Amino acid sequence: MHILVLGAAGMVGRKFCERLLRDGRLGKSDITKLTMHDVVEPKKPEKAGFPVETVSGDFAVPGAAEKLIAGRPDAIFHLAAIVSGEAELDFDKGYRINLDGTRMLLDAIRLVGGGYKPRVVFTSSIAVFGAPFPDAIGDEFFHTPLLSYGTQKAIGELLLADYSRRGFLDGIGIRLPTICIRPGLPNKAASGFFSNILREPLAGKEAVLPVSEDVRHWHATPRSAVGFLLHAGTMNLATVGPRRNLTMPGLSATVGEQIAALKRVAGDKVAARIKREPDPFIVGIVGGWPRNFNAKRSRELGFTTAEQTFDDIIRIHIEDELGGNFVA
């Protein structure tokens, strides 16, 4: 099996590729080649049990998608995107990457012909939903995104479903919760503070909280995100039917509940490193975000999370990223 990962240098993409390299197979199929693509060249693994190609470039320029598809990968994981805050600040860039790039990729697949029909896993977002919300958003709730990012992802979902219906590819879209705790440095995602207020204090640094503690949101760990991708790449899509886009399971929590969990796991001194500095831009964006879901359909189709409480989310970060230790 030849696997192509777009966005392989990003946090989730990197962890997903590390898992593929460790397992050497996807489901029951041995991996014979892995192509890792991003706008910056992904780090090539020193030791791999199969050929690995790293490619850098803008996949949304004419002709780029055709080159990536020329090797006819069997499974394509499309994680490449401009994140929410950046897509809101730079309208043209958000639409060019998140919408035009996705359309170019799907068309490149379609135009190969000759019976080529790869599995395409598209990472969408809960930003496809917009207020007003019920207490928990179910599988029947409609798309009314209140951000350009959510609009771009919603259009991508529709394209994926239609191209699958027409038989050009075998696609599934997974709406990821906000990934928490994200390792590494802060990025331009408007949701970044959900991780920042936990990751930085655990590392002995101060963090800024730009919203009130009653803000509620939907979360999952990087470990769960990798599990979602693996399941999406191997599941029987005949069980999904024509509705090819699913909201992934997660954990609903307020910022205050996040901080309380941090105190339980790491102590009051660590939590005291959080500084409250309201940011009207972030407050405005977060006000239109969903807060809780009933992800019944995805759970019934075999998607599961690695965490049951926010204490689990913090402990998983300490275990996976900090070697079991934190700065008290």
**Catalytic residue annotation:** 149
Tell me the C-alpha distance between 233 and 73, whole Å: 13
Q: Containing H/E element for 178?
A: strand 178-179
Reading the block at residue 114, the tokens are 């000759």
Q: What are phi and psi of 34, to 5 degrees?
A: -125, 125
C-alpha torsion sign, points 225, 227, 228, 233: positive
Tell me the C-alpha distance between 30 and 175, whole Å: 27
Please say whether the beta carbons of 182 and 13 come within 8 A. no
DSSP 239: G
Tell me the C-alpha distance between 183 and 14, whole Å: 11
Provide the 3-class DSSP secondary structure of residue 325.
coil
Q: Which of 18, 49, 23, 24 is nearest to 36 (CA)?
A: 18
DSSP 211: S
Reading the block at residue 233, the tokens are 């790449």
